[in-house]
Amino acid sequence: MNILYYAQMMWGCMLLFWLISSFMVKRSVKTEGIANRIFYLFFFVLAGYLAFTNDIPFDFLYMKILPQQNGWKITGFILFALGIAYAIWARAFLGKNWSGRVTIKQNHELITHGPYAITRHPIYAGILAGLTGYAFIEGLVKGYLAVGIIIIGMLIKIYREEKFLHEAFGEKYKTYSLTVKRLIPFIY
């Protein structure tokens, strides 16, 4: 059984779901500037490139970090699958309020139930868990480096999203942010 193959197929299914559902969203009324978007997208693209390609010309990136025993691979696959499922669940809950960029939608709703009662940014939390699980499966330096890089991009985007949400929802968002952690339940 090639666990890595199944993980790649699940990434593909998630991306297909994202693509199809991106056509069913509300119109944006406020959107971030293109320069801000390019800044965090750089980190997302770099992390994806590191995680999913094998043509990077630096040999140290292909060094094994964890022993590639089945236990690590299975643990990684479980973390990966749970993370992807969490991200998809969150995306479904967000519904028409979703956007790939930092934005406020027409008649934007503050979603605070379902996965949004567990973490304020469950899509990012799920993708981060998924990418971490994928790094466990592969066991290479490049995968763990990708996790670190995507965290930087996510933190930049989260900061900007929360600024928009504070402006749009005021005290309601402030109260929500005091009771629900950003990415890791009970921790951060």
Residues 151-182: tens digit of each pLDDT: 999 999 999 999 999 999 999 999 999 999 99
In a domain, 41, yes or no: yes
Q: How confident is the model at residue 113 (pLDDT cuts 50, 70, 90)?
A: very high
**pLDDT given at position 1:** 55
The domain in which residue 51 lies consists of 30-99+110-179
Which H/E stretch holds residue 78?
helix 70-94
In a domain, 88, yes or no: yes
In a domain, 5, yes or no: no
In a domain, 188, yes or no: no
Residue 26 DSSP one-character state: P
Residue 111 DSSP one-character state: -
pTM, two decimal places: 0.90
Report the C-alpha gap between 84 and 164 in whole angstroms: 26
* Residue 110 backbone dihedrals phi, psi, to 5 degrees: -90, 110
Q: Which amino acid is at 160?
A: R
**pLDDT given at position 124:** 97
Q: Using DSSP, state whether 104 is helix, strand or coil.
A: strand
**pLDDT given at position 83:** 96
CB 61 within 8 A of CB 86: no
CATH number where 172 lies: 1.20.120.1630
The whole-number average pLDDT for the span 102-126 is: 95
Report the C-alpha gap between 149 and 141 in whole angstroms: 12
In a domain, 20, yes or no: no
CB 14 within 8 A of CB 80: no
Q: What's the structural domain count of the chain? A: 1
In a domain, 35, yes or no: yes
Report the C-alpha gap between 24 and 119 in whole angstroms: 24
In a domain, 6, yes or no: no
In a domain, 104, yes or no: no
pLDDT, one tens digit per residue, over 62-79 is: 999 877 788 888 999 999
> Which residues contact residue 79 at a Cβ distance below 8 angstroms, ignoring those fewer than 6 apart?
129, 130, 132, 133, 136
